[in-house]
Structure 1
């Protein structure tokens, strides 16, 4: 069944960013008057914000400048990665979404097409995104607020995770180091992410290609603890070969394409 017009508009804005009403009218084959009414309805639902002559997907307000900068860096690639990862979600499962900016895009994709899930997270941004979304039972961990990443970390959060089990973990990364270590600049976040890995069945890394070969201070874990990697086609040939040799399920997506180009290797 073809998606309805409002769904087409939401998905187009998600994938392509701010779009003028003339372009939206052409995409969904509707009149300008109809598009204006549709955008008003979507704005009232909190899904989009109208701009001068167009619209964009609504973002949560109040992000710190540093977080917003990281969130928007490589946004096309992150959204393409999230789009591909979304296809692996299964209704009825329990999922942990960590505080990575690419994982945040998965939450935003899920907001567009909700399904019945129990979602745990330590991310304030993800909580903002999924609050009130139908069919999603959202559980936010408690702990110390790490302002730089808009997430909670520390002993309270780790203690909570030790009593839980997740069907799937979607993990971001500040760096995937040359030795295969996944790393982050904060010690408490590293310890919490390590606990997530230990308490999850399927472990899925969402990271754009710029993160591979970088360094950060605190080790979270290693790539051999991961079952799937979703990244973009900017990944170097050396890293692509290494991930294949590790027998990971590798999903490469093309950020600029209308449909992700996916490659699976086991």
Structure 2
């Protein structure tokens, strides 16, 4: 495994669990503890973690956003399953807002070759490039300021774009989903763009892997009651999904790392 990939996975682990220890990671990755120490030193230099005896702890709490590269590498196969299920909810000839982020980029890839004939409005340069040559598809790229690393567009110009269109569906990627606190995001301006997109669409489909369930991040985007459907690889009985159903949200569960045979493909 390349060092860059391993470090991305370690970053995701510490963000999910809050702490890591060198010995466990060395055993899991089949490398020496010294190699893990060097990986963690790199993460410490970025300000993400603080080293302690035998390991490291998260230094910046829930406000720390993993890099796009980390999110794209983590559970890539699971995200494709989520994406394929989300595309099944789209209708031919719809006008669809495709969000920025790694999960929705997977949705864009799953759209290719389906012949849906969509009109796509997106604040993501990566999504726009992915679908630029898709036959019978119109891609409208929102204006605004480019956010480095994410290659998303943010700011008042981006938000204003969504007031111009009446869209059928918004496919949203999100950092946290909670029944009481709704959907939330790390970045203030990303959150503002998402709020504008919610207002522009008749229905909202959230794509979220299991790690996002039960999380509350810095910026509130919308209450869970404003979401039409959640597509996830989390277990069907996860408290967040139970709470979502009670609010009238459709839940689509695809096979995930902790899915049982009964949960695979479950919908409600």
Structure-2-length-normalised TM-score: 0.69
Alignment of 1:99-248 (within 5 A): 99-177=100-178, 179-234=180-235, 237-248=238-249
In the TM superposition, residue 155 of structure 1 has moved relative to its aligned partner by 0.5
Secondary structure of residue in 1 paired with 2:266: coil
Does structure 2 retain, via aligned residues, the 8 Å contact 1:183–1:216?
yes
Q: State how far apart, in whole Å, the 1-side matches of 2:177 and 2:171 are.
A: 15
Give 1:100 shift: 2.6
**Aligned-partner Cα distance in 1 for 2:216–2:244:** 18
Aligned CA RMSD, in angstroms, stands at 2.0
Equivalent residues of 2:169, 2:205 under 8 A apart: yes
Q: CA deviation at 1:86?
A: 1.1
Q: CA deviation at 1:154?
A: 0.5
Write the distance in 1 (CA, Å) between the matches of 2:101 and 2:219.
Answer: 15
Quote the Cα distance in structure 2 between the aligned partners of 1:178 and 1:130.
33
Any conservation in 1 of the 2:253–2:264 contact (CA below 8 Å)? yes
Q: After TM superposition, give the deviation of residue 236 of structure 1 in Å.
A: 5.3
Which segments of 5 or more consecutive residues in structure 1 lack a partner in the other structure? Answer: 1-64
Report the Cα distance in structure 1 between the residues aligned to 2:233 and 2:180, rounded to whole angstroms.
20
**Compared with structure 1, are the counterparts of its residues 90 and 178 closer, same or farther at alpha carbon in structure 2 (3 Å cutoff)?**
closer
SS at match of 1:149: coil
4+ residue segments displaced more than 4 Å: none
Contact 2:171–2:206 (CA<8 Å) still a contact in 1?
yes
Q: Secondary structure at the match of 2:232?
A: strand
Match of 2:28 in 1: none
| Compared CA separation, residues 240 and 181, structure 1 to 2 (3 A) | closer
Q: Tell me the distance in 2 between the aligned counterparts of 1:77 and 1:235.
A: 15
Partners of 1:97 and 1:135 lie apart in 2 by 17
1:162 deviates by 1.0
CA distance in 2, matches of 1:243, 1:178: 6
TM-score when scaled to structure 1? 0.70
